[in-house]
């Protein structure tokens, strides 16, 4: 399990009980977490735990040897911010929720679809979502569009589908990481999401994030 967990962390995966239950259980044991941390330290990384819901490896030093990888990882998260925030807003409205999606929340495709079908503004919002880069598609039917969006979120690691034959998705800990990214930008840099998504972060801010 040590090798599997180490490789997952070095590959940039976010380990949570939903997406990687066995690896999460392994890291939840202090001795195992210490071993992984000792392995990561010479690689200028450390094991971080977020709210008991998520483990990931963060850089402790940014230099010429890893600067490109850091910027690429940051750029990927940046490109996902606006479309995923807009998707979360759509879900909150459709399901009448007061809080955005968090780790372990369930998304039921048919329940969400039914709400969207009965509200023209939500149908329009879904259509706009499918024009954004992360969710871009030429599909026109609401069912096809929604299924596509959920599929892309699954591929990006924000959702998992425990039963491939079912249409129930569960949010992973990576969603919580995204919330922390947004909070950092708003609190530390006082940036609006739209400005940030348009590329308003400089190199120093990129290094802070990874």
- pLDDT tens digits, 125-175: 999 999 998 999 999 899 999 999 999 999 999 999 999 888 999 999 999
CB-based contact 133:79 (threshold 8 Å): yes
Q: How many residues in total does the chain contain?
A: 210
The answer for 23, left when phi > 0, alpha when psi is -120 to 50, beta otherwise, is alpha
Smallest CA-to-CA distance from 19 within 160, 192, 122, 183 is with 160
Fold exhibited by the domain 78-177: Arc Repressor Mutant, subunit A (1.10.10)
CB atoms closer than 10 angstroms to residue 109: 17
Per-residue confidence band for 201, with pLDDT thresholds at 50, 70 and 90: very low
Q: Per mean pLDDT, which range of 37-41, 83-87, 161-165, 202-206 is the poorest?
A: 202-206
Smallest CA-to-CA distance from 6 within 63, 20, 18 is with 20
pLDDT score, position 189: 56
Output phi, psi for 160, to 5 deg. Answer: -130, 155
CATH of segment(s) 2-59: 1.10.10
Per-residue confidence band for 188, with pLDDT thresholds at 50, 70 and 90: low
Output phi, psi for 161, to 5 deg. Answer: -120, 100
* pTM for the whole structure: 0.81
Residue 81 in this model has a pLDDT that exceeds 90: no
2-59 and 78-177, same CATH topology: yes
**Distance between CA atoms of 190 and 188, rounded to whole angstroms?**
6
- Burial tier of 38 (Cβ tally within 10 Å: 0-12, 13-18, 19+): exposed
pLDDT score, position 121: 95
Per-residue confidence band for 187, with pLDDT thresholds at 50, 70 and 90: low
In the chain, what are the domain boundaries? 2-59, 78-177
Q: Per mean pLDDT, which range of 5-9, 98-102, 155-159, 198-202 is the poorest?
A: 198-202
Q: Which two tokens stand for residue 35?
A: 């071993």
């Amino acid at each position: 399990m040590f090798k599997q967990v180490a490789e997952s962390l070095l590959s940039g995966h976010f380990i949570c009980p939903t997406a990687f239950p066995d690896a999460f259980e392994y890291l939840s044991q202090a001795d195992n977490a210490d071993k992984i941390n000792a392995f990561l330290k010479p690689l200028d990384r450390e094991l971080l735990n977020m709210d008991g819901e998520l483990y990931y490896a963060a850089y402790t030093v940014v230099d010429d040897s890893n600067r490109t990888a850091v910027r690429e990882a940051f750029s990927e998260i940046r490109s996902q911010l606006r479309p995923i925030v807009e998707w979360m807003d759509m879900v909150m409205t459709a399901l009448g929720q007061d809080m955005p999606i968090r780790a372990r929340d369930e998304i039921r495709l048919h329940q969400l679809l039914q709400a969207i079908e009965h509200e023209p503004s939500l149908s329009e919002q879904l259509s706009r979502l499918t024009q954004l880069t992360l969710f871009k598609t030429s599909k026109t039917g609401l069912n096809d569009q929604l299924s596509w969006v959920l599929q892309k979120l699954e591929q990006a690691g924000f959702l998992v589908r425990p039963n491939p034959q079912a249409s129930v998705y569960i949010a992973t800990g990576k969603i919580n990481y995204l919330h922390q990214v947004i909070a950092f930008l708003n609190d530390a840099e006082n940036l609006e999401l739209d400005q940030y998504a348009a590329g308003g972060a400089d190199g120093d801010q990129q290094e802070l994030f990874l």
